[in-house]
Chain A
Amino acid sequence: MPPQRQVRVGNQWMRARDAQRALEEAIRVSRAEEASHGPHQSFISKYVFSVDHKWIGIQYGVTALTFLLLGFSMMLLMRYQLAWPGKPFPEWIAKFLGQSNAPGGVMLPEFYNQLGAMHGTVMVFLAIVPLAVGAFGNYLVPLMIGAPDMAFPKLNMMSYWLYLPGGLLMMLSFFVPGGAPNSGWTSYPPLSIIATHGQTIWILGMIFLITSSLLGSVNFIVTIFQLRAKGLTFMRLPFFVWAQLVTSFLLLLAFPPLEAAAVLQLMDRVAGTSFFMPSGLVVSGAPLDRSGGGSPLLWQHLFWFLAHPEVYVLILPGMGIISEIIANNTRKPLWGYRSLVGAGVFLGFMSFVVWAHHMFLTGMGTAISAFFQTTTMIISIPSVIILTALIISLWGGSIRFTVPMLFALAFLPMFGIGGLTGLPLGLAAADIHLHDTYYVIAHFHYVVAPGTIFAMFAGIYYWFPKVTGRQMSELWGKVHFWASLIFINGVFFPMFLQGLAGVSRRLYDGGAQYEHAKSAIHTNVFISTCAFLLMAAQVPFIINFFYSIFKGRRVTSNVWDATTLEWAATTSPPLAHGNFAVAPVVYRGPYEYSVPGYTAADFIPQHVPDDAPPAPDTSTRGGGMLPAGAVAQKES
């Protein structure tokens, strides 16, 4: 029989597990008492304009997941048109779209362009970034560093309340004359400047979103620098926190140039300036009445100066989540923690000097192309270091195949495919053929969809018990995982082949009018079918998510036997009452799993002190959640 760990509470000895339960019950009761006796908070200040980082994180999460579903739905409409060009939609969808967008149920090219621009905008700015940074960052960073809240709670609230109106404003653009923005998510001029009114709304929406992420990034950096618990040095930070720190610096420094560019484009549209309008432009056979002298290339430079670091904003938090889950589920420390941190920081620096690899075909010159293809090759090195360290971390681990771990394991090859297929795009010569084809679409979707979105799913399954006190169903999680993995590859893998065959992106009929595309576009039906099935595969997740909030299995505060500080807080930490009963003190690094010579448990949480007797066989150090020093321990 395995030795039972005994702990003393007051003057009574009991089994560690019983003591933990008793303590948690005591904390729960005292919290409940406190909640009923504490300062009365109105519904509005507690749940709408909340200043508590946990609730703001939940607000971000739910809003961003809704936008994620919305962005996906837009894509399904487009996929229907691509697979069966000119075929009318089923009655109820045609009715929903209306005669102005789909007369007789057939989607208009103008509406297809609107959906294309909005799919990109919604997914990048309203779904993934708010989910990765706003939701996961907000909820977890203060808990992981042992802080009572973010450094500036009111700014935090303001970030959310700028994000939501910005998002709703974007959606509103579907209802103005001319419809939503239709110049692509990149809004290249001169097209975007002569475009319909939706584009003005896009710019205003972007100004909201940029301001929101600016406030958020300042808040994150200050929180991580200033509010770390005692003993939590930078090299003891979980990699997730490092990833969020680098991400915040990228948001802080990369977004303002886009804000400037958005102001300039706004001026071009409403005040008749010519920042991005070259001289002698002819539109619909008539010369455009402008002073001219502007540069369309200038917009591309300013846009990609944001949008390339943005790529790393999309992927770094995902890598952070994956790292936590891999360390926890392999029951061993991450391999090469220092290399991971170094690579993450280097990645952040380099991401500012690669932007023009999106512009090889603009005629900006071979010298500039050579520079940017060199930096692009350099930036692949830190990405490879991170992925390699995560793969080697699996070696020799006793892997627990939990649902979060399945998503994390799938992330590695999926991100690998996405990353490696990016190299030919980063070389100017190969890019001449691949530029603006479906190959590009496949490449970056492999990074963001089965990469980042899988990381987000992994994170949701992993931290769901922390947020709600209940666990999501493992069985339905596995159904969700396997179906998503199969169909998402069914969607994106054939696009590589289409792209290599030369099928351009942004084609309303999927390339049917091009002779050279004939050999490749028959896969459109297969891709679209997989896309619809991928949507169906999300149904178990959505049901599981809501069902588990109310009916999921109740779990203890450290259900995964994890080491980082968020698991030292109670289950489902109460809102607006601080995170920790006592400010935690950190004694060790973040991944002390399977420490040699330590037999009591296969993990030592960061907040458990060193001064407990180190003798390996006869005594135990606390592997549980009891506050440091609260109990003495022995083994029977």
Chain B
Amino acid sequence: MDAHAAHADHHEIEIPYTVHSRPDTGLYNGKLGIWLFLASEVMLFGALFSTLILLRTGAPVWPEGSKILNVPLATLNTFNLIASSVTVVLAWANLRLGNLKKGKFYLAVTLFCGFVFMGIKAVEYGSKFSHGLLPSTHNFYATYYVMTGLHGLHVVGGMVVFAYLLMTANKWYATKPDQFTNRVEVTGLYWHFVDLVWIFLFPILYLL
């Protein structure tokens, strides 16, 4: 290492608690950050659920979701997402135990579940579009498309992060295993939230 590099190294900004927890809060920065982000997401979807409730209670008649939407496919998707929530925890647990190979495997399974979810969604959307049932048809469809659409965007966002983690896993885990494991943990927290939103969307849109 030459003198300049050593010099620069010495003065590099070191932000504390990027990897290890601060004793009095018990959290590392990224984990607190993702919890706060999820709090704001609760408000985002909360506003959409409130919109649905207000429009539905104000409407003289409101279509029954179970007669219009494809309940079996959505049920399948519900179990698919729940399974992916389990696999992302398994990925994190294996990375924690130092097992990169298994960790990567479960990350890949999670990503695959994401693809399955979006595939099924595409089939559902496609059949509605082909029958001319568009967002402008009725406010039932408007809320259905907007809520599942925004949820779908969140799924895609999670998939992008999983793909990135998978691509960089070998190099990252070799140099900074704790940091990489933390990244999987916070992505997992986000993924659980996306899962949870669907757990609310499914009964409210499809069943009630």
Q: Which residues of A contact B (CB under 8 A)?
A: 34, 37-39, 147-149, 151-153, 214, 217-219, 221-222, 225-227, 252-257, 259-261, 263-264, 267, 271-275, 290-291, 293-295, 298, 302, 305, 576-578
Contact = CB atoms under 8 A, between A and B. Distances in A.
A38 B43 CA distance: 45
Contacts of B43: 253-254, 256-257
A261 B55 contact: no
Given A261-B47, A291-B136, A38 B7 contact: yes
B139 A225 contact: no
B69 to A, nearest CB: 17
B40 A252 contact: yes
A612 to B, nearest CB: 27
B30 to A, nearest CB: 8
Interface in B6-48: 7-8, 11, 13-17, 22, 25, 27-29, 32-33, 36-37, 39-41, 43-48
Nearest to A151: B29
B205 to A, nearest CB: 16
B48 A293 contact: no
B11 A578 contact: yes
B186 to A, nearest CB: 12
Contacts of B143: 275
A264 B139 contact: no
B146 interface: yes
Contact of A272 (B13, B39, B136, B150): B136
Nearest to A152: B33
B47 A260 contact: yes
Contacts, number: 132
A226 B16 contact: yes
Contacts of A259: 44
A569 to B, nearest CB: 14
B47 A226 contact: no
Contact of A218 (B33, B47, B138): B33
A266 B37 CA distance: 23
Task: Pick from A222, A254, A259, A272 the residue with the most CB of B within 10 Å.
Answer: A222
A260 B51 contact: yes
Interface string B112-151: 0000000000000000000000111111001100100010
B4 interface: yes
Main SS of the interface on chain B?
A: helix
Contact of B51 (A151, A153, A264): A264
23 contacts: A34-B7, A149-B13, A151-B33, A217-B40, A221-B36, A225-B32, A227-B16, A253-B40, A254-B43, A255-B40, A256-B41, A256-B43, A256-B44, A260-B45, A263-B146, A272-B135, A273-B135, A273-B136, A273-B146, A291-B139, A293-B59, A294-B139, A295-B55
B45 to A, nearest CB: 8
B72 interface: no
A305 B15 CA distance: 35
- The dominant DSSP class at the A interface is helix
Contacts of A256: 40-41, 43-44, 46-47
A293 B29 contact: no
B61 to A, nearest CB: 10
A214 B40 contact: yes
Interface residues of B, number: 42
Contacts of A149: 13, 15
B11 A34 contact: yes
Nearest to B138: A291
Contacts of B135: 267, 271-273
A273 B47 CA distance: 17
Contacts of A219: 33
A252 B59 CA distance: 32
A227 B15 contact: yes
Name, among A256, A302, A305, the residue most crowded by chain B CB atoms within 10 Å (CB to CB). A256
A482 to B, nearest CB: 43
Contacts of B28: 226
Given A253-B40, A293-B139, A275 B47 contact: no
Contacts of B22: 225-226
A497 B206 CA distance: 56
A273 B139 CA distance: 7
B47 to A, nearest CB: 4
Contacts of B4: 37, 39
Contacts of A218: 33, 36-37, 40
Contact of B44 (A260, A576, A577): A260
B136 A253 contact: no
Contact of B8 (A39, A148, A263, A264): A39
B138 A293 contact: yes
B51 to A, nearest CB: 6
Contacts of A294: 55, 139
Nearest to B31: A222
B17 to A, nearest CB: 5
A260 B42 CA distance: 11
B11 to A, nearest CB: 6
Contacts of B8: 38-39
B54 interface: yes
A351 to B, nearest CB: 14
A37 B7 contact: yes
A577 B48 CA distance: 44
Nearest to A31: B11
A110 B147 CA distance: 35
Contact of B150 (A214, A263, A578): A263
Nearest to A577: B11
A308 to B, nearest CB: 14
A570 to B, nearest CB: 14
A288 B34 CA distance: 44
